[in-house]
Structures are given as structure tokens and as C-alpha cells.
Amino acid sequence: MWFYLALAVLLYFLIRLYRETKIVENLTEKYVFITGCDSGFGNKLAKQLDIQGLHVLAACFTQKGAEELERLTSDRLKTTILDVTSTESVAAATEWVKEHVGNKGLWGLVNNAGIIQPVGPNEWMTKEDFEKVLNVNLLGLIDVTVHMLPLVRKARGRIVNVASILGRLSFYGGGYCPSKYGVEAFSDSLRRELQPFGVKVAIIEPGYFLTSMTNAQYNLDCLDLQWTSTPQEIKDSYGHTYFNNFYKSLKENLNSRCSTNLFLVTDCMEHALTSQHPRTRYSGGWDAQFFFVPLSYLPTALADLILTWSWPKPAQAV
């Protein structure tokens, strides 16, 4: 019995592997729109798809980012400026995409734009701190998707939403984890709605990656400002030692535990766009595949123990 069960599992994975090697035809005729291309995953993916011969429509937040990306890529790649928190900017970008794709429609939409800060214990946050992250990571993503959907449906194309492994396990406070949980929920409902139209929706769940030292330092500076503006009563409850240890722990994670190999994520994005049979979810990074994903299936009490065993203790903890 166990032999036949093992054989069935092996056969399943062999068939799956074969299906995933089948590539979409006429890729050089297809258009892909990517948000957040100034740096990080979006920038790397735009260059990667440009090399593959696709028509890349790259949205950057700054003019400087757009000019630098155009300088390093072929004439096929076009850039535009996009602020995903502005519906007017999203609508303008949609019209710009329409002009480029014409009757072909949009084969790929990659919702990559996102921010992480401010982070820290939830009690240190204000409503505005949460809104800042949610407006970019979740509401901006939804706005872009809804505007671009008619173009994607026309091409019977792909939507690739960048969530996070922290959309499975909420590890720290602030708006980042709730926003990524929201991306997961939105993507799941979208996938089921669009299946009859032949549109496929994939979720990318990166682990810990360091996209630039500047962004990492900004996160740390943000945490310092967060502590400074926290009411004194809350400061007394946590204590300055807690803040110092939290700051130190975050810095160590950014400097030593984050991968700099962005291809572990952009290769997943490329596969979701170019494979005839893309996966529903991609876990980008070894930590995501071999630590966080298995951890997410453990009993909650055990997962909590593993995630919090090294956390600092507040001054007034029981």
C-alpha cells in the first residue's frame, strides 16, 4: 500500500514538473505592465523580461528611476510615472497602457509596488501609520487591478500579485502584515472570478530579502521616530531596553538574514507570466520554502512559541 502511495505522489510531481516546463507561445508579441520598477523586484523583473524579448511597460514612482531603467534596457521597454495611491495617476497609467497594447490587450499585470515602514509594536502605531502602508500595498494594488482588468481579460492573460510570506504569518506590528494578508484574500477571490475568462492569477510570497541598504536604513530610522512619538505611558510599559533590543533584532535581520539574490523571486514572477501552467502560489527564497511555509501549518501555539522565543520582554510584562 505504501509503495503505491509513494508511486502516486512521485507520478504527481513528475507530471506537474513536466507541465510547468511548457512555455507560452509568441512571448515576444506580449505586453507586461509592472508597478514599482524604481528598484528591487520590479526593477530586476523589468530587465529580466526585456532580455527575454517581451514588451515591458514599467511604472516607476520617480522620474529618476524611470530614466535610469530606460538607460539600461532596450527600446522595447517603456516607462511611465505612477503613484498607486492616486486614482487619477492610476487612470492615466491605464490610458497609457491602452495606447501601447492596442487590440492585443495586456498579457501580464504585475502588482509589485509596496512599502514596509513604519514597523514596530502595534501599540506604537497610529491609524495614519497603518493607512500609509495599506494605501500602497493593498488599496493601490486593488485600484490598479480593477482599472487594468478589461485589458487583461482581452488578452486572456495573467495577474501576478506580490504578497509576502508575512501574508501567511504575521510576525510584527504595523500595516505591512495586514496589507499582505489582504493581498492574499483579494487574489484568491480574483482568481475564482476570472477563471471563466481564461485569466490566471498567481501570488508571489517572498521571504526576507534586502533590496537596498538605503531602504533598510530608512526602516531603522522610521522605528526610531516611531519610538520618539510614542506616548510616555506606553514607553514606560515597554521600557527603553525593549526598544533597544527590538531595534537591534531588526537590524540583525536586515543585515544578516535577508537574501540579496532577487532572482529567487523574479524567476517565480517570470514563470507565472510565461508558463502555460503557472502555479497559484510561489514561495520565493529558501527561508520561505523551508521555514515559514512549514511553520504556517503547525499548531498556532507551537508557531507562536517558535516566532517569539527570542523577542525582548517589555518592562511591565507579567
**Contact of 52 with 270, CB cutoff 8 Å:** yes
**Contact of 278 with 272, CB cutoff 8 Å:** yes
Residue of 176, 181, 238, 242 marked active site:
176
Kindly report the backbone phi and psi dihedral angles of residue 120, in degrees, each rounded to the nearest multiple of 5, phi listed first. Answer: 145, 180
d(CA 235, CA 33): 45
Q: Which H or E run contains 201?
A: strand 200-206
Kindly report the backbone phi and psi dihedral angles of residue 57, in degrees, each rounded to the nearest multiple of 5, phi listed first. Answer: -110, 105
Examine residue 118 and say whether the peptide bond preceding it is cis (omega within 30 degrees of 0). Answer: yes
Residue 32 backbone zone (phi > 0: left; psi -120 to 50: alpha; other: beta): beta
Q: Establish whether 176 is a catalytic residue.
A: yes
**Contact of 42 with 58, CB cutoff 8 Å:** yes
Query: Who contacts 283 (Cβ-Cβ below 8 Å, separation ≥6)?
Result: 165, 205, 207, 268, 289, 292, 293
**Contact of 202 with 281, CB cutoff 8 Å:** yes
Report the greatest alpha carbon distance in the chain: 65
d(CA 161, CA 172): 22
Provide the annotated active-site residues. 176
